[in-house]
Amino acid sequence: MTVPPPAPPPPPEDRWLLPAPLRPLAIVTGLLLSGLGVLGTVLPGMPGTVFLIGAAWLFSRSSPRFERWLLDLPLVGPLVDDYRRGLGMPRRAKWIAYLSIAIAVSFSLGRIPVLVGQVCWVLVGLAGIWYIAARVPTKA
């Protein structure tokens, strides 16, 4: 009995795509994250880039067309592209992020009735500030 030859590998652009049944869900989720990301670029205190990076990842795994659409948006594309290339954030954007985190934590702290919850919330804010300061490169 002869063994059939192994199937050729998928083309490079299809290698990382999600299975076909999951792609519509990934596209819808990516569109939702895109909307949240655009809102985050306008609303103070709401992060935008993290949602846009998530949307770009989902689109890269589900629809190259939607990925290209997202990266071609003038407000969004450069942020995601800089992140993907490891260029980091401009110094001004980092300071805005630090202040946004500090203000959001400060304003919401009084709404947490338990001291342990308040301490945890402050630690979450400090972890976000630490991550941006230590792990995200500063773009020159």
Task: List pLDDT tens digits, range 106-122.
Answer: 999 989 999 999 999 99
Do 45 and 77 belong to one domain? yes
Is residue 73 within 8 Å of residue 41, measured between CB atoms? no
Residue 97, in any domain of the structure: yes
H/E stretch holding 2 reads none
Do 25 and 56 belong to one domain? yes
d(CA 80, CA 60): 12
> 78 falls in which pLDDT band (50, 70, 90)?
confident
DSSP designation for 114:
S
d(CA 58, CA 73): 16
Do 24 and 52 belong to one domain? yes
Do 18 and 81 belong to one domain? yes
d(CA 45, CA 108): 11
Residues composing the chain? 140
Instruction: Look at the chain and report how many structural domains it folds into.
Output: 2
Do 65 and 92 belong to one domain? no
Task: List pLDDT tens digits, range 19-37.
Answer: 888 899 999 999 999 999 8
pLDDT for position 16: 67
Do 81 and 92 belong to one domain? no
Identify the domain containing residue 54 by its residue range: 13-87
